[in-house]
Each structure stands twice: as C-alpha cells, then as structure tokens.
C-alpha cells in the first residue's frame, strides 16, 4: 500500500466500499524503503476509514527462497486473522494471494473473489523472468497454470481488467465450469486527476510511471528524438521514481542531448500540476500474449487530466479506448509514424476528461465491485 499502485488501485476501492458497511482486513507486502517513508500516511488513511491494515515485510532475495519465506508469513497471518474474525469473503488480488484464498475459502466456508489482474504465469514468461522450457521454471509455470484453472472454476467470481482478456478466457474448453467473470479496468480518481490549465507554450512530451520490464524506453526515446529534430526546443519530461541513469544512458547511445530530458520524482497528488504543459504522453508497451489482460493505470489518469496518449497497438483494450474516445494515437508500427498528423492534431482537455469519466471513473469501478460483493456475499 506504500507503493503508488496500492494507493491508486487498492485503497480507493476499499475506502469507498467500507462506506457501504463492509469491514476490511487488508494484508499487504511492503518494500522496506517505501514502508519506512509512507507507513504513517497509510496508517492514517486506514484508521480514518476503519480498515485494519496488516503490513508484512516483502523479501526480495535470495530468489525462490525469499518467495517461499514470504508465502509462509502470509499463510501464518491469514490463519491468525481467521482465529479472531469470521470472514464472509476473501478478496484476492492476483494469483499467489488467491491460492491461499481458495485454501481458506474451503476451511472457513467463505466466498472468494478472484481479482486475477491477468495471466500472471504467462507474464513471467513473456517478461523473460521464467524460461518455461527449463527446470525449475517449467515446473513452477505448470503449477500456476493448474492453479489458474482451479481458481477460475472454484472462485465465486472472477474479475478481468480487460474485455480482450475475458474473451480469451471464454475460448477455453472449460469455460462452462468457470465462475462468472466481470470486467473492471484500472480506474482513476478523477477528483484528483483532472485538467490543469497550461501556463507555457513549450512543446513537452511526457512519461508517467515506472520503466520496468514491459515499457519500451528506447523506442520512446527514438520517437522523441524524431520530434526533437522537427521541434528543436521540445522536451521529454519523465515523472518516475526509477534511476535517471537508465534514461540518460539510452540518451547518450542515441545521441539525444541531456538538456532536453527532464526527470523528477513526484508524489501522487502533485501529478496533475506537474503534467499541465504536456502535449502528449508516450506509453509504448511490449506486446505479448499476456498483455491482452493489461489495463495501464496511467491511461485513465492521463485522460482525466486531458492529456492524449501515443501508444502502440496490441495491449489490453487500449486500442479500443483510444479510438472510441479519440484520446490520442495508436501506432500500428513504431517504425512508420506519420508525424505530420500527430504534430498538427488538436485535443481538448475537457473532451478527454469527459471520456475518462465515462470509462475510468472510480465511482463506476466501486459500483461494479459493490454489485459483485452484494451478489456473492
């Protein structure tokens, strides 16, 4: 919860659901550095909303053994909570918590909501973290695919982030045995992420968020370099907590002047002001089979702030959303870009904000969860 994702994609939902007479015990794994920095904030938020927060220390190393240790801690924590509280439902975000959720659903006769987020095991393979043709990753991959099927059948409800993901699930020959599946994208708090008036005529392209496994940093910098050749005083502004050297090393290799690159960290509540002068935001994600489930959190936030995105095709429902709400450009081929159309486009911030309210509204997301809660509890 001390990571930005927890603050955007977990806490806002359960804060609002707690107002509907649901009482939550929230178990999360926290990275030590972020926990020490933000624990007071999260404790305050949870206390004010009657949420019992149970943070556990996330262990990164050594590989595999650290994960097993964390799983043992999680199992122990859930058992301890179950001895004190009679739970009506277990809401699990992603696979590993859901495997434990299924175990305790059977033990406690509780309901289970499998918030699957995507094909987790396939993401590990597509991201190059697991080689499913080699031991022990082949065994681990097959184990999680078996558990995936078990969860889809024995949960009381499943949530997919995308319609493309749900459609893929329904191609499975076991689909008739599956629990009901609903689609809820990564919603945005549009009371926070709303347009801020530009106060500069400079041409600024932006990037928001981490630069992890899936984002095509080099390709985004190549794109900016071509923009910069046409508009020499243009800037590429990164709002990220990642190491700036990762970006600057690519710039040096590509011949991009560092003075045209701006990099800074930011707190979540400062994002609308710091992005006020962005003309576009880039969002190039490496497409793969598992990415049909991807719903980039930043898409709703950027639309809410009235910032069009330039993205590649083949990721979740991104293409559909951009085209339906005319909220940017989908590039079918990153090597064949019509910069004339892009540079001569004119997007209205308020129009994009209206599209975000139609598709990514946190209130709509909460209502979708509430209907599922009411149905299965």
pLDDT 10s digits, 291-307 = 999 999 999 999 999 99
pLDDT at 64 over 80: no
SS3 helix, strand, coil % of the chain, rounded to 5?
A: 50, 15, 35
Q: Is residue 195 part of a domain?
A: no
Q: Is residue 194 part of a domain?
A: no
Q: Is residue 196 part of a domain?
A: no
CA nearest to 18, candidates 7, 8, 6, 26: 26
Burial annotation 307-346 (CB, 10 A radius, 16+ → b, else e): bbbbbbebbbbbbebbeebebbbbbeeeeebeeeebeeee
- Give the per-residue pLDDT at 5: 87
Q: Is residue 119 part of a domain?
A: yes
Residue 118 exposed, middle or buried by CB count within 10 Å (0-12, 13-18, 19+)? buried
Mean pLDDT value across residues 49-63: 93
| pLDDT tens readout for residues 270-294 | 999 999 999 999 999 998 999 999 9
Residues 12 and 155 grouped into a single domain: yes
pLDDT at 69 over 90: yes
Contact 70, 29 (CB under 8 A): yes
Rounded alpha-carbon distances, angstroms, from residue 171 to 18, 32, 205 = 36, 41, 39
- Give the per-residue pLDDT at 173: 94
- Give the per-residue pLDDT at 145: 96
Residues 65 and 140 grouped into a single domain: yes
CATH number at 308 reads 3.40.50.2000
Torsion of CA 353, 332, 208, 288, to 10 degrees: 120
- Give the per-residue pLDDT at 67: 85
| pLDDT tens readout for residues 320-344 | 999 999 999 999 999 999 999 999 9
Confidence of residue 236 (pLDDT cuts 50, 70, 90): very high
Which tokens sit at 289? 């089979």
Residues 126 and 210 grouped into a single domain: no
How many domains would you assign to the chain? Answer: 2
Which tokens sit at 4? 């930005």
- Give the per-residue pLDDT at 4: 84
Mean pLDDT value across residues 202-227: 95
Q: Is residue 261 part of a domain?
A: yes
Mean pLDDT value across residues 160-185: 96
What whole-number distance in Å separates Cα of residue 254 and Cα of residue 149?
A: 45
Contact 205, 237 (CB under 8 A): yes
Give residue 182's domain range: 4-188+361-376
Residues 32 and 169 grouped into a single domain: yes
What whole-number distance in Å separates Cα of residue 143 and Cα of residue 145?
A: 6
Contact 99, 151 (CB under 8 A): yes
CA nearest to 100, candidates 84, 77, 121: 77
Q: Is residue 198 part of a domain?
A: no
Q: Round the average pLDDT of the chain to a whole number and report it.
A: 95
Confidence of residue 184 (pLDDT cuts 50, 70, 90): very high
Residues 63 and 107 grouped into a single domain: yes
Residues 155 and 169 grouped into a single domain: yes
Residues 331 and 371 grouped into a single domain: no
| pLDDT tens readout for residues 129-152 | 899 999 999 999 999 999 999 999
- Give the per-residue pLDDT at 108: 95
Confidence of residue 213 (pLDDT cuts 50, 70, 90): confident
Residues 158 and 183 grouped into a single domain: yes
Residues 183 and 262 grouped into a single domain: no
Residues 35 and 149 grouped into a single domain: yes
Q: What percent of the chain has pLDDT over 70?
A: 100
What whole-number distance in Å separates Cα of residue 341 and Cα of residue 253?
A: 28
pLDDT at 105 over 90: yes
- 214 or 370: whose pLDDT is higher? 370
3-state secondary structure of 347: coil
Residues 161 and 224 grouped into a single domain: no
Q: Is residue 155 part of a domain?
A: yes
- Give the per-residue pLDDT at 2: 95
What whole-number distance in Å separates Cα of residue 251 and Cα of residue 28?
A: 37
Helix extents (H) in 276-361:
297-304, 318-325, 339-343, 349-359
- Give the per-residue pLDDT at 117: 87
Confidence of residue 267 (pLDDT cuts 50, 70, 90): confident
- Give the per-residue pLDDT at 63: 76
Confidence of residue 118 (pLDDT cuts 50, 70, 90): confident
Which tokens sit at 342? 């892009």
Q: Is residue 310 part of a domain?
A: yes
Residues 349 and 215 grouped into a single domain: yes
């Amino acid at each position: 919860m001390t990571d930005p994702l927890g603050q955007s994609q977990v806490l806002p939902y359960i804060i609002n659901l707690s107002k509907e007479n649901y009482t939550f015990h929230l178990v999360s794994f926290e990275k030590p550095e972020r926990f020490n920095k933000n624990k007071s904030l999260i404790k305050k938020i949870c206390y004010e909303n009657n949420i019992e927060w149970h943070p556990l220390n996330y262990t990164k190393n050594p590989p595999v053994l650290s994960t097993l240790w964390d799983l043992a801690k999680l199992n122990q924590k859930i058992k301890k909570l179950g001895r004190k509280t009679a739970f009506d439902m277990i809401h699990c975000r992603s696979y590993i918590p859901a495997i434990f959720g299924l175990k305790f659903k059977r033990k406690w006769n509780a309901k289970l909501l499998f918030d699957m987020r995507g094909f987790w095991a396939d993401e590990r393979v597509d991201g190059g973290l697991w080689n499913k043709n080699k031991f022990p990753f082949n065994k681990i991959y097959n184990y999680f695919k078996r558990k995936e099927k078990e969860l889809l059948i024995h949960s009381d409800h499943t949530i997919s982030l995308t319609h493309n993901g749900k459609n893929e699930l329904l191609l499975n020959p076991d689909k008739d045995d599956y629990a009901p599946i609903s689609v809820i994208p990564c919603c945005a708090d549009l009371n926070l992420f709303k347009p801020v008036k530009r106060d500069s005529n400079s041409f600024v392209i932006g990037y928001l968020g981490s630069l992890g496994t899936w984002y095509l940093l080099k390709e985004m910098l190549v794109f900016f370099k071509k923009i910069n050749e046409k508009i020499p005083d243009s800037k590429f502004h990164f709002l990220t907590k990642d190491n700036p050297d990762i970006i600057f090393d690519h710039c040096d290799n590509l011949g991009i002047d560092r003075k045209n690159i701006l990099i800074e960290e930011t707190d979540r509540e400062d994002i609308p002001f710091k992005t006020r002068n962005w003309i576009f935001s880039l969002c190039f994600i490496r497409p793969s089979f598992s990415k049909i489930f991807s719903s980039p959190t930043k898409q709703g936030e950027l639309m809410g702030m009235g910032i069009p995105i330039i993205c590649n095709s083949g990721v979740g429902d991104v293409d559909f959303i951009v085209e339906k709400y005319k909220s940017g450009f989908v590039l079918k081929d990153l090597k064949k870009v019509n910069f004339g159309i892009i540079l001569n486009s004119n997007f209205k911030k308020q129009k994009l904000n209206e599209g975000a309210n139609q598709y990514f509204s946190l209130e709509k997301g909460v209502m979708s969860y509430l209907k599922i809660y009411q149905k299965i509890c």
